[in-house]
Structure 1
């Protein structure tokens, strides 16, 4: 609340509060010597300017890990998360974007909110699978992120996560004692070379699947 109140007059897009939230989330890694996080390719992320970040999704731990990007963006997250104590309050102050899965009205509102932030030069981050993978296999992607990129003519930035399922599995209730998490930010994809949402969607999904397989082959057990 203090960071929000102090920075609001000069930081209308909430960049400072978001970066503070990044630090807050990273405390889980800083204080736990058995959790390790490696981030590669951070130079592909913009400090300013619209972009749509898309990541595979394996665990609730993905949220902690992706805050480690330390770059401004607005999360798209399921609406129920905004009701959680502390975390939900933080999400509301950050003006992240809520979504009720399967609700057409909520989906339309989410898309409008994302267009608003992109028009202000603030990137957004989405999980195009829509839900966490139970077995680590990348699920089919939904259209939303790619439709936004085409409409707003802004780059798609693929982000690949490995090792995060070991933090908190989909149906798990206990944090794993050890985890080696890796975030690989890939070069931006220019949507202008694609004529439709489906071709852009499948191109980006193939990039993520291939890069994930490459990383896991180099780091067995990831």
Structure 2
């Protein structure tokens, strides 16, 4: 039954993406003259992604600490990455930010096109030139007052354990003197295997926004990085 349900669910996503993307184009065109940061389009995209979480009878999602995230001003958001559906549940934060995501996602019809409309940030893993381009793009976004969200592990965990964090997000925080918000994503790996698309039994996931870290309180970006990783690790240990 799970296999049949999974096929039907992914087919439902594929079909409804056509409708949602058409709506995204309308939102983009209407708001383009006055919404340079594309806040309205991002919130529309958040509703689009969250819809697929809340209509799935196998999934339950709670968001804890959303009020900690700012509506205005630049910030760096960092989250652990255990599953493909991390992207869906993090959209449920319903706060303005720009994703940093692997470039392959931007090539996916409809979804990738919407990511480009939103001015999200592509990254080619393993390419130093792409990393520099990504950092420059994030610099522009932060200067304009837009938060950015990154997975500092760089890729999904292969075994469920929290992987070492890369420096990029924390270099951005120190350079722009903006806070880092660690975000612990719980339970998503149980919902969908790393190398598969067959959904599993009922899963309760939650997104937990942890207290902000001020870069001024740390001597360098490496200590800020480790503090953020430890905060997420401590939160995940409560599962």
CA RMSD of aligned residues (A): 0.9
1:180 to 204, 207, 213: 204
What do the CA deviations read for 1:149-183 (whole angstroms, capped 9, x no partner)? 00000000000001111232211122334221111
Match of 1:11 among 10, 35, 48: 35
**Alignment partner of 1:123 is 2:147:** yes
For residues 47-79 of structure 1, the C-alpha deviation after alignment (integer angstroms, 9 at most, x for no partner) is: 110100000000010000000000000000001
User: 1:219 is matched with which residue?
Assistant: none
Q: Which residue does 1:143 correspond to in 2?
A: 167
Specify which of 68, 79, 82 is matched with residue 106 of structure 2.
82
Aligned partner of 2:49 in structure 1 is 25
Work out whether 1:198 is the aligned partner of 2:236.
Answer: no
Q: Which runs of 5+ in 2 are unaligned?
A: 1-24
Q: Call closer, same or farther: CA 1:21–1:51 in 2, change over 3 Å.
A: same
Match of 1:65 among 85, 89, 97: 89
Number of the residue aligned with 1:168: 192
CA contact (8 A) 1:58 1:169 kept: no
Q: May I ask how many residue pairs the two structures share in their alignment?
A: 215
Q: Please give the alpha-carbon distance, in whole angstroms, between the structure 2 residues aligned to 1:41 and 1:202.
A: 21
Is the 8 Å Cα contact of residues 56 and 208 (structure 1) preserved in structure 2?
yes
CA distance in 1, matches of 2:220, 2:129: 23
Which structure 1 segments of 5+ residues have no match? 217-222
TM-score by length of 2: 0.88
Cα distance, 1:20 vs structure 2: 0.4
Partner of 1:37: 61
Q: Which residue of 2 aligns with 1:56?
A: 80
Give the conservation status (yes or no) of the 8 Å contact 1:128–1:145: yes
2:78 equivalent to 1:92: no
Residue 30 of structure 1 deviates from its aligned partner by: 2.4
Partner of 2:233: 209
Tell me the distance in 2 between the aligned counterparts of 1:29 and 1:201.
30
1:69 aligns to what SS in structure 2?
coil
